[in-house]
Copies of this chain bind each other. A is one copy, B any other.
């Protein structure tokens, strides 16, 4: 079963918690147990699992990425967003997650985050539920 989650980002770079959005689609599907694929269909975004408690964790990750992959880095790609493409491949575009009791089977502190690296834009997260 195929679903889409549309996410409006608000900054050039930010992590947005999409856990509730994904669980909402799982609820719509009526799936109790199985797996699902989460895929961001853009080349300047990523999707990752990390702490869904203290927002400072995702701030620290974002700041680390900005320092490691600078906006200006003598890149060849002329659109000026090579840093965003590099961050996308470091963080990754797909997750494969377990579903139990009708929701994502995550650890106590885990959430799912869309990484926006070249926004603000309207982004599509594709969800396939097995």
Contacts and interface: CB of A to CB of B under 8 A. Distances in A.
**This chain: copies in complex:** 3
Contact of A43 (B43, B50, B63): B50
A50 B35 CA distance: 24
Given A57-B77, A85-B51, A95 B97 contact: no
A86 interface: yes
Interface residues on A, range: 35 or more
Nearest to A85: B57
Interface of A: 2, 33-35, 37, 39-43, 48-51, 54, 56-57, 59-61, 63-64, 68-69, 73, 75-79, 82, 85-86, 88-98, 100, 105-110, 124, 126, 128, 130
